[in-house]
Every structure is written in structure tokens, then in C-alpha cells.
Amino acid sequence: MAHYRSVSLIIPFLLAYLILPSLVYLSHADPPYQLCSEPGYYAVNSTFQNNYDNLVANLSSNASLSNFYSTSYGNNTYRVYGQYMCLNYVSNQDCRKCIDLASQDILRLCPNDTEAIVWEEFCQLRYSGQDFIGHLNITGNIWKDNVMNVSQPDQFKLVVNTSLQNLSKVAAFDPLSDMYATGAVEFKDASASMLYALVQCGRDISGSDCNICLQQAIKDVLANCSFSVGARILSRSCYLRYEQYAFYEGKTAPEPNQTTQGGKFI
Ligand SMILES: *[C@@H]1O[C@H](CO)[C@@H](O)[C@H](O)[C@H]1NC(C)=O
Ligand SMILES: *[C@@H]1O[C@H](CO)[C@@H](O)[C@H](O)[C@H]1NC(C)=O
Ligand SMILES: *[C@@H]1O[C@H](CO)[C@@H](O)[C@H](O)[C@H]1NC(C)=O
Ligand SMILES: *[C@@H]1O[C@H](CO)[C@@H](O)[C@H](O)[C@H]1NC(C)=O
Ligand SMILES: *[C@@H]1O[C@H](CO)[C@@H](O)[C@H](O)[C@H]1NC(C)=O
Ligand SMILES: *[C@@H]1O[C@H](CO)[C@@H](O)[C@H](O)[C@H]1NC(C)=O
Ligand SMILES: *[C@@H]1O[C@H](CO)[C@@H](O)[C@H](O)[C@H]1NC(C)=O
Ligand SMILES: *[C@@H]1O[C@H](CO)[C@@H](O)[C@H](O)[C@H]1NC(C)=O
Ligand SMILES: *[C@@H]1O[C@H](CO)[C@@H](O)[C@H](O)[C@H]1NC(C)=O
Ligand SMILES: *[C@@H]1O[C@H](CO)[C@@H](O)[C@H](O)[C@H]1NC(C)=O
Ligand SMILES: *[C@@H]1O[C@H](CO)[C@@H](O)[C@H](O)[C@H]1NC(C)=O
């Protein structure tokens, strides 16, 4: 059911650019995004590169079996550690596609780097020469938001916070949650009537670390994107997103209501 949003939106976006140039305004998070090591390059044909290649091939083949996996490859000093996480609502087949895309993007965006992480629409892929598996890391979170704002920001912020707090408790402390939670609550606005939110942690960290990661992500989203109709926090150890449409059920962003929101570009 889930489609790559970047692909499925290409045609509407091209039309929008042609017809209404100011619709650029509406553009949202368009992955990939990355954090690369700086400096720190591995040499061509080195042991590190060989281990890296095997690691990524191993991760990629696991992606058709499971939505989360960590592993390492190689010996001693040149051992490479890797991990991927697909959002839990994504099928194994789409997870595999996403990791294959991420493994191409990570090479293109962080060529020869000894550590890197890339976030795609449905997944994140990370590797390093240091063993990061099982270690919470909340540094360098990236936030992405939609430039369109809600009409009642104060009420919205409250609902976003409560909703994310509720979901975080489930993801972090409910052993049946798989460290993943989604939920919808009513929120009436000029352009929508519901709020849909998702949180997920890497399954290598503990429940209490998951909670720490999501609390930081909530802080980031409330501090930086609380007026926005949709936002996501990209973190090494967890992930958070909210929208006014059911993205985790495979829905895509609705066409903007030109009567209510279109004043700026008509
Ligand atoms: C790397 O290895 C390949 C195949 O063994 C070889 O063709 C290529 O010239 C090597 N490149 C460098 C920079 O050593
Ligand atoms: C994955 O790793 C194993 C060793 O752990 C190795 O034998 C195998 O060839 C690797 N798979 C791929 C596709 O590289
Ligand atoms: C991942 O793949 C390896 C082989 O590369 C296999 O031994 C392992 O069971 C797989 N793990 C999961 C969780 O799918
Ligand atoms: C790891 O070390 C063993 C024994 O020294 C060697 O046989 C093997 O090829 C090495 N593996 C890698 C991936 O370097
Ligand atoms: C990175 O690797 C590519 C081939 O994999 C090579 O052509 C390039 O020179 C390398 N760059 C650096 C900075 O090592
Ligand atoms: C988090 O990850 C970055 C990049 O890998 C690393 O430089 C930093 O030391 C890590 N921080 C912690 C607390 O592990
Ligand atoms: C949304 O609100 C933020 C913060 O008040 C403001 O900087 C931004 O320009 C607004 N965006 C639009 C499209 O009005
Ligand atoms: C979000 O809710 C938590 C728990 O109720 C509260 O401690 C925090 O201050 C709230 N954050 C904001 C920005 O309102
Ligand atoms: C949060 O959880 C409380 C207690 O279960 C519930 O009453 C409330 O409606 C929830 N709020 C949101 C916004 O999810
Ligand atoms: C779009 O705007 C019109 C006119 O203001 C309103 O009647 C309609 O309910 C809006 N549609 C949505 C989905 O909000
Ligand atoms: C994002 O939010 C955090 C608080 O969680 C704050 O420290 C940071 O400065 C904010 N970033 C920007 C660009 O406003």
C-alpha cells in the first residue's frame, strides 16, 4: 500500500510548478537527508571498504525479512557496524527497496566516509567504524517541517504534545509495541480535522533510552515546528512524525484547499 512519496508526488508537483510557481511554498520534507563524518575517509579497495560492502549487502538482504536489524562485518580495527530501521508500517518488500535506495544515496552523499547516516521517506541506514549498536545518541537531530501553518497554533501545540507524549509511553514502555506507536486524535482546523502521529525507536536501545530519545524529539518538534501542519524529527536512535492525514496508512498529502489556503498564490 505504501508508495514512495517522492515518486508518487512527482507528477502533481511538476504540474504545480508549471501552473502555480508559488506552490513551492507547500513543498515538505523531500528525502534523502544525511549526516556524514568529517573528516575520515577510507581508501579505495581497503579492508574497510571491503567490510563496508559486505555489511551493506548483508543489511540489504535482511531488509526483506525484518524492519530493523543491526550487524557488523570484519575484524578488529577495520570492523564496520551497521543498522537500518524501516518504519513499522512499511512492508518488508518496501523496506528492502528503501534500504537499497538508502545504500545508494549514502555512497553518493557521504562518499568514502568512515561513518554516515541517511534518512529516506520510510527508513534510515547508518554505519560506522565505531560500535554504536545499543547506544542511545540524541545529538544532531534534524527537523523538517511543512511551511504551511495551522490556523490555531496554541491549541494545536497542546494536542501535538499530548498525543506524542501518549505515543511515547506506549513505544517506550509497552512490551507489545515493538517500540512503535501511531495514533489519531481529532483536531479541527481550517484545512483538516484530525492529527495523525507516529513515533518509533531503534530496537537496540532500552525502553528508558527510547523515552529519552522521544522526549528530545518532542522538545525539538515543539520548539521548532509547532505551527506547522506536518513535521518530522530525524534522530539516530528514534523517529517522530505528525501530519494532518493518515500517512502511516499509506495516505498521501491532500491537495491544498485553494479557497482557504490559496490566497497567497492565486
Ligand atoms: C581496486 O580493485 C579493482 C579490482 O581488483 C581494480 O580493478 C582497481 O584498479 C583497484 N583500484 C585501486 C584504486 O586500487
Ligand atoms: C553476509 O555476511 C556473511 C557472514 O556473516 C557472509 O558470509 C555473506 O556472504 C554476507 N552476505 C552478503 C550478501 O554479502
Ligand atoms: C539477517 O541475515 C542473516 C544472513 O545474512 C541471517 O543469518 C539472519 O538470521 C537475518 N536476521 C534477521 C533478523 O532477519
Ligand atoms: C578475519 O580474520 C580471519 C582470521 O585472521 C580471516 O580468516 C578472515 O578472512 C578475516 N575476515 C575479514 C572480513 O577480514
Ligand atoms: C572515493 O571512492 C571512489 C571510488 O569508490 C574514488 O573514485 C574516489 O577517489 C574516492 N575519494 C576519496 C576522497 O577517497
Ligand atoms: C553520536 O554520534 C556521533 C556521530 O557518530 C558521535 O560523534 C558522537 O560522539 C555520538 N555521541 C554519543 C553520546 O554517543
Ligand atoms: C508559519 O509560521 C512561522 C512561525 O510563525 C512563520 O515564520 C512562517 O512564515 C509561517 N509560514 C507561512 C507559510 O505563513
Ligand atoms: C508537553 O507535555 C509535557 C508533559 O505533559 C510537559 O512537561 C511539557 O512542558 C509540554 N511541552 C510544551 C512545550 O508544552
Ligand atoms: C492521551 O492519553 C490520555 C489518557 O489515556 C487520554 O485521555 C487522552 O485523550 C490522550 N490524548 C491524546 C491527544 O492522545
Ligand atoms: C475548503 O474551503 C471551503 C470554503 O472555505 C470550505 O467550505 C471547505 O470545507 C474546505 N475544505 C476543507 C477540506 O477544509
Ligand atoms: C530546535 O529545538 C531545540 C530545543 O529542543 C533548540 O535547542 C534548537 O535551537 C532549535 N533549533 C532551531 C533551529 O530553532
∠ CA 87-238-2, rounded to 5°: 15
Residue 172 lies in a domain: yes
Q: Which atom of ligand 8 is nearest the CA belonging to 226?
A: 13
Q: What local confidence, expressed as pLDDT, does residue 38 receive? A: 75
Residue 95 lies in a domain: yes
| Final residue belonging to a domain, choices 128, 161, 180 | 128
- The CA-atom distances, in angstroms, between 108 and each of 65, 113, 118 are 26, 10, 11
Residues 148 and 113 in one domain: no
Rounded CA separation 9/26 (Å): 12
Q: In what order do the strands lie in the sheet with 142-145?
A: 142-145, 231-234, 238-243, 194-201, 180-186
Residues 123 and 148 in one domain: no
Q: Which atom of ligand 4 is nearest the CA belonging to 75?
A: 1
Quote the ligand 1 centre to 127 CA distance (angstroms): 23
Quote the ligand 9 centre to 54 CA distance (angstroms): 45
Residue 17 lies in a domain: no
Q: Does ligand 9 lie within 6 Å of residue 162's CB atom?
A: yes
Residues 149 and 230 in one domain: yes
Quote the ligand 11 centre to 138 CA distance (angstroms): 13
Q: How many other CB atoms are found less than 10 A from the CB of residue 251?
A: 13
Residue 11 lies in a domain: no
Residue 223 lies in a domain: yes
Residues 48 and 70 in one domain: yes
Q: What local confidence, expressed as pLDDT, does residue 257 receive? A: 55
Q: Domain tally for the chain?
A: 2
Q: Are 33 and 142 in contact (CB under 8 A)?
A: yes
Quote the ligand 9 centre to 155 CA distance (angstroms): 15
Residues 208 and 120 in one domain: no
Q: Are 148 and 24 in contact (CB under 8 A)?
A: no
Quote the ligand 9 centre to 213 CA distance (angstroms): 21
Per-residue tens of pLDDT for the chain, all 266 residues: 332 233 333 334 433 333 333 333 344 568 999 999 877 789 988 999 999 999 999 999 999 999 999 999 999 889 999 999 999 999 999 999 999 999 999 999 999 999 999 999 999 999 999 999 999 999 999 999 998 999 999 999 999 999 999 999 999 999 999 999 999 999 998 878 999 999 999 999 999 999 999 999 999 999 998 789 999 999 999 999 999 999 999 998 877 655 444 333 22
Q: What's the distance, CA 205 to chain centroid? A: 17
Quote the ligand 11 centre to 80 CA distance (angstroms): 32
Q: Which residues contact 226 (CB under 8 A, 6 or more apart)?
A: 153, 156, 157, 160
Quote the ligand 10 centre to 193 CA distance (angstroms): 11
Q: Look at residue 55 and give its three-state secondary structure.
A: helix
pTM: 0.85
Mutate to test the pocket of ligand 9, among 155, 158, 162, 222 (most ligand atoms within 8 A of CB): 162
Residues 147 and 256 in one domain: yes
Identify the nearest ligand to the CA of 190 by its number. Answer: 10
Identify the nearest ligand to the CA of 235 by its number. Answer: 6
Residue 25 lies in a domain: no
Q: Give the structural domain span for 99.
A: 33-128
Mutate to test the pocket of ligand 7, among 147, 260, 264 (most ligand atoms within 8 A of CB): 147
Residues 149 and 100 in one domain: no
Residues 171 and 257 in one domain: yes
Q: Which atom of ligand 5 is nearest the CA belonging to 42?
A: 14
Q: Which one-letter amino acid corresponds to residue 36?
A: C
- Across 44-81, b (16+ Cβ under 10 Å) vs e yields eeebbeebbeebbeebbebbeeebbbbebbbeeebbbb
Residue 232 lies in a domain: yes
Residues 151 and 230 in one domain: yes
Burial of 242 (0-12, 13-18, 19+ CB in 10 A): buried
Q: Does ligand 1 lie within 6 Å of residue 43's CB atom?
A: no
Q: What local confidence, expressed as pLDDT, does residue 3 receive? A: 29
Residues 156 and 234 in one domain: yes
CATH of the domain at 189: 3.30.430.20
Q: Which one-letter amino acid corresponds to residue 190?
A: A
Which candidate, 142, 129, 139, 127, places its Cα nearest to that of 33? Answer: 142
Residues 111 and 146 in one domain: no
| Final residue belonging to a domain, choices 104, 128, 152 | 128
Q: What local confidence, expressed as pLDDT, does residue 227 receive? A: 87
Residue 24 lies in a domain: no
